């Protein structure tokens, strides 16, 4: 659905950019941080937030974007991406940690129901790497990170392995850091696109994201430098 | 045979094209060469078997509860019948994902019923059946109620004057009379259950071999591999159409 909305947005936004506007295609997990950054920067920014893979496909099909910020590596011809932030997995539990979980191996306890993301989506691929050392038996492999989190919020599972930024954005859950997640850190990359109709504006936005102020907004949202 | 009027034929053909063209798109884009290999992948067979089993069980569940409900709506006179009929169609209007959340709020481990049920339905195969039945039951009830309203109630009255109880009249007279309607309703119900996605993934989650039905497998395949998603869709379509065609020949003739 998000993908379809993104596509509609692209189709309706076809053609010339409005006066000085920068069109930024960004991974859904950047929504809070980038919205704040755009407001603070004073630049005229239009966003299209969606899954990184879907955005890459839209750009590949000629969508008129100036900047692409992806949750994974960007591999587009003629584009020089730079890494600007990292996101790490945490164990999300209900507020107050009712099951008293402290570490990854606690997820193996028979009284703990666990939701992971499916391997086909980035959070699931990362979880598979990070959980390689423990034999966790999840009850479900959710279609995206928000679905895994909502199973926790509804009380159907006791723990979900999600990104730290997702926990930071949800007041009713808390996150438990675990050292094994260092093996599966997502590196976010940003790039000005080759076909950008507004290269100067695009570069200004990228520079602002990488400035101290931009970094502060990202860190506040739960990202790491 | 008289010629069909063009005013009917033209929109009918356009309607058919509208329904069939997306299917043509799937068939044209399908990577036929790799189809046997993908069909042999263990995850595909287990998802297909699970889909067929759960859709069939959901249909049985709908028949057991839906036929009496349809009879009540068509034959019994009670206050609030209109309201009940409107309530029956709620799952049709509700976005399936919302239906899934609603089921969690009732049958989940902290749900209204689930908290004193003693066992947990979410993340189980039984949960898949419940989600599918919730979404598919209105199709059966509406079809059977329509058949009952179309059937001549005088046969039942005749049975009653000959001394049959209402139950005997129902099983010996009414049911055979509306059997085609029930069969049509069951087919609709089964087809809807087979394609169910939103309520299933929300209520029962996604786990291969336990709750991952074909529509869920297709959705996840779309994330990484379009070709694989197309093949899975075609397998589901092919098997369901084959089963429906076979049933039609046997039952409806």
> How much is the average pLDDT of A185-196?
91
Q: Please give the mean pLDDT across all residues of chain B.
A: 90
Contact A92, A196 (CB under 8 A): no
Residue B103 is assigned to a structural domain of this protein: yes
Examine residue B232 and state whether it is found in any structural domain, yes or no. Answer: no
Do residue B205 and residue A142 have CB atoms under 8 angstroms apart? yes
pLDDT tens figures, B221-237 = 887 777 888 888 998 98
- Contact flag B201-A138 (C-beta cutoff 8 Å): no
Chain position carrying tokens 């479900």: A140
Q: What is the pLDDT of residue B70?
A: 96
d(CA B23, CA B248): 21
**In chain B, what residues touch A114 (CB-CB under 8 Å)?**
none
pLDDT at A11: 44
Q: Report ipTM for this prediction.
A: 0.82
Domain extent listing, chain A? 2-86+186-220, 89-184
Q: Residues A102-160: pLDDT tens digits?
A: 999 999 999 999 999 998 888 898 999 999 989 899 999 998 888 999 999 999 999 99
The per-residue pLDDT for B33 is: 83
pLDDT of residue B144: 96
**Residue B90 included in any domain:** yes
Q: Are A126 and A202 in contact (CB under 8 A)?
A: no
Q: Domain range holding B99? A: 52-211
pLDDT at position A78 over 90? no
Per-residue pLDDT for A101 more than 50?
A: yes
Interface of B with A in 52-91 (CB under 8 A): none
Residue-level pLDDT at B252: 56
Partners of residue B205 in chain A, C-beta under 8 Å: 115, 139-142, 151
Contact yes or no for B201 and A113 at CB 8 A: no
What pLDDT is recorded for position A13? 42
Please check the confidence at residue A16 and state whether its pLDDT lies above 50.
no
More confident residue, A78 or B192: B192
Q: How far is B209 from chain A (nearest CA, A)?
A: 11
Q: Do A139 and B104 touch (CB under 8 A)?
A: no
Q: Token pair of A34, please?
A: 């980038």
Contact between residue B67 and residue B144 where contact means Cβ atoms under 8 Å apart: yes
Distance in Å, alpha carbon of B126 to nearest chain A alpha carbon: 14
Minimal C-alpha gap between B137 and chain A (Å): 25
Q: Which residues of A touch B (CB under 8 A)?
A: 51, 53, 113, 115, 118, 120-121, 138-143, 147, 151, 154-156
Position B38 in a domain: no
Residue B202 lies in a domain: yes
Does A50 have pLDDT greater than 50?
yes
pLDDT of res. A5: 45
Provide the pLDDT for residue A14: 43
DSSP state of A104: G
Number of separate domains in chain B: 1
Q: In what order do the strands lie in the sheet with A89-94?
A: A140-142, A114-117, A159-163, A89-94, A173-176
Q: What is the CATH number of domain A2-86+186-220?
A: 3.40.190.10
Contact B97/B65 with Cβ under 8 angstroms?
A: no
Chain B residues touching residue A155 (CB < 8 angstroms): 108-110
* Average pLDDT of span B117-136: 93
Query: How far is Cα of residue B192 from the mean position of the Cα atoms in its chain?
Result: 3
Instruction: List Cα–Cα distances, A109 to A83, A104, A135, B25, B137, in angstroms.
Output: 37, 10, 10, 48, 38
- Partners of A115 on chain B (C-beta within 8 Å) are 205
Per-residue confidence at B251, pLDDT binned at 50, 70, 90?
Answer: low
Say whether B207 and A141 touch across the interface (CB within 8 A): yes
Q: Residue A45 — φ and ψ, nearest 5°?
A: -115, 135
Question: What is the per-residue pLDDT for B104?
Answer: 94
Q: Report whether pLDDT(B14) > 90.
A: yes
Under 8 Å CB-to-CB from B92, ≥6 apart: which residues?
A: B138, B139
CATH of domain A89-184: 3.40.190.10
Residue to substitute from A2, A118, A121, interface B, most B β-carbons within 10 A: A118
Distance of CA B137 to the CA centre of its chain: 7
Confirm if B128 and B204 have CB atoms less than 8 A apart: yes
Give the DSSP H/E element, type plus range, for residue A27. strand A22-27
Convert the pLDDT of each residue in B31-81 to its tens digit: 888 888 877 777 888 999 999 999 999 999 999 999 999 999 998 889 999
Say if residue A219's pLDDT is above 90.
yes
Contacts 24+ apart (CB under 8 A), B217-220: B217/B43, B217/B44, B217/B47, B219/A143, B220/A118, B220/A120, B220/A121, B220/A143
What pLDDT sits at residue A209?
A: 96
- pLDDT beyond 80 at B249: no
Smallest Cα–Cα separation from A174: which of A64, A119, A62, A95? A95
pTM: 0.82
Position B22 in a domain = no
Residue B199 belongs to some domain of the structure: yes
> Which of A56, A143, A159 is the best residue to mutate to test the B interface, defined by the most B CB atoms within 10 Å of its own CB?
A143
Q: Which of A51, A121, A140 sits opposite B207 (nearest CB)?
A: A140
Residues A72-82, mean pLDDT to the nearest whole number: 82
Evaluate whether A2-86+186-220 and A89-184 have a shared fold.
yes
The predicted structure's pLDDT at residue A66: 95
Shortest CA distance from B197: residue in chain A: A143
How confident is the model at residue B36, as a pLDDT? Answer: 83
Is B130 contained in some domain?
Answer: yes
Output the pLDDT for position A137: 94
Average pLDDT over residues B176-197: 93
Q: Could you tell me the two tokens for A65?
A: 């974007």
Contact B223 A151 (CB under 8 A): no
Query: Smallest CA–CA separation between A36 and chain B, in Å?
Result: 29
Task: Give B55's strand partners.
Answer: none
CA-nearest residue of chain A to B204?
A140
Q: Do the chains contact at A118 and B220, CB–CB below 8 Å?
A: yes
- Rg (Cα) of chain A, in Å, rounded? 18
Question: To the nearest whole angstrom, how far is the Cα of B133 from the nearest Cα of chain A?
Answer: 21
pLDDT exceeds 90 at position B90? yes
Average pLDDT over residues B128-154: 95
pLDDT interval class at B13 (50, 70, 90) = very high
Chain A nearest-CA residue for B120: A156
Least confident of A41-45, A62-66, A200-204, B117-121: B117-121
Greater confidence (B137 vs A55) lies with: B137
Size of interface A-B (CB pairs under 8 A): 54
CA distance A173 to A96: 8
pLDDT value for A17? 43
The percentage of chain B sitting over the pLDDT mark of 90, rounded to a whole number, equals 64
What is the CATH classification number for the domain harbouring B99?
Answer: 1.10.3720.10
């Amino acid at each position: 659905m998000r993908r379809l909305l993104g596509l509609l947005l692209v189709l309706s936004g076809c053609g010339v950019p409005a006066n000085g506007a920068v069109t930024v295609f960004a991974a859904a997990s950047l929504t809070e941080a980038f919205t704040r950054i755009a407001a603070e920067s004073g630049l005229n920014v239009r966003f299209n937030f969606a899954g990184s893979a879907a955005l890459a496909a839209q750009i590949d099909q000629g969508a008129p974007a100036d900047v692409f910020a992806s949750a994974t590596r960007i591999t587009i011809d003629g584009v020089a991406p730079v890494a600007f932030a990292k996101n790490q997995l945490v164990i999300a539990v209900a507020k107050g940690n009712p099951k008293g979980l402290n570490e990854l191996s606690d997820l193996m306890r028979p009284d703990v129901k666990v939701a992971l993301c499916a391997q086909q989506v980035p959070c699931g691929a990362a979880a598979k790497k990070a959980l390689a050392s423990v034999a966790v038996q999840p009850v479900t492999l959710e279609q995206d990170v928000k679905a895994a989190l909502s199973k926790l919020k509804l009380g159907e599972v006791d723990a979900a392995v999600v990104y730290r930024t997702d926990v930071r954005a949800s007041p009713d859950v808390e996150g438990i850091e675990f050292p094994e997640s260092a093996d599966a850190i997502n590196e976010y990359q940003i790039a000005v696109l080759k076909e950008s109709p507004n290269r100067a504006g695009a570069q200004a936005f990228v520079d602002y994201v990488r400035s101290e102020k931009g970094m502060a907004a990202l860190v506040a949202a739960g990202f790491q430098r | 045979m008289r010629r069909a009027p063009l005013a009917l034929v033209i929109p009918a053909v356009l309607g058919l094209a509208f329904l069939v063209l997306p299917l043509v798109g799937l068939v044209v884009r399908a990577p036929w060469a790799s189809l046997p290999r993908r069909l042999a992948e263990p995850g595909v067979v287990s998802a297909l078997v699970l889909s067929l089993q759960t859709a069939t069980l959901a249909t049985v569940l709908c028949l057991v509860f839906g036929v009496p409900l349809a009879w009540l709506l068509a034959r019994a006179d009670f206050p609030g019948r209109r309201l009940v009929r409107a309530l029956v169609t709620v799952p049709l209007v509700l976005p399936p994902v919302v239906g899934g959340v609603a089921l969690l709020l009732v049958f989940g481990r902290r749900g209204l019923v689930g908290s004193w049920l003693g066992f947990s339905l979410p993340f189980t195969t039984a949960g898949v059946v419940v989600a599918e039945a919730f979404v598919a039951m209105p199709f059966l009830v509406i079809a059977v109620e329509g058949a009952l309203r179309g059937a001549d109630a005088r046969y039942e009255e005749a049975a009653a004057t000959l001394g049959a109880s209402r139950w005997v009249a129902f099983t010996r007279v009414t049911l055979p009379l509306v059997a085609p309607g029930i069969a049509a309703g069951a087919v609709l119900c089964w087809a809807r259950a087979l394609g169910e996605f939103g309520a299933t993934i929300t209520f029962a989650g996604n786990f291969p071999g336990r709750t991952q039905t074909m529509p869920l497998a297709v959705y996840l395949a779309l994330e990484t591999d379009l070709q694989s998603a197309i093949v899975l869709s075609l397998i589901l379509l092919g098997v369901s159409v084959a089963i429906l065609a076979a049933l039609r020949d046997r039952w409806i003739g």
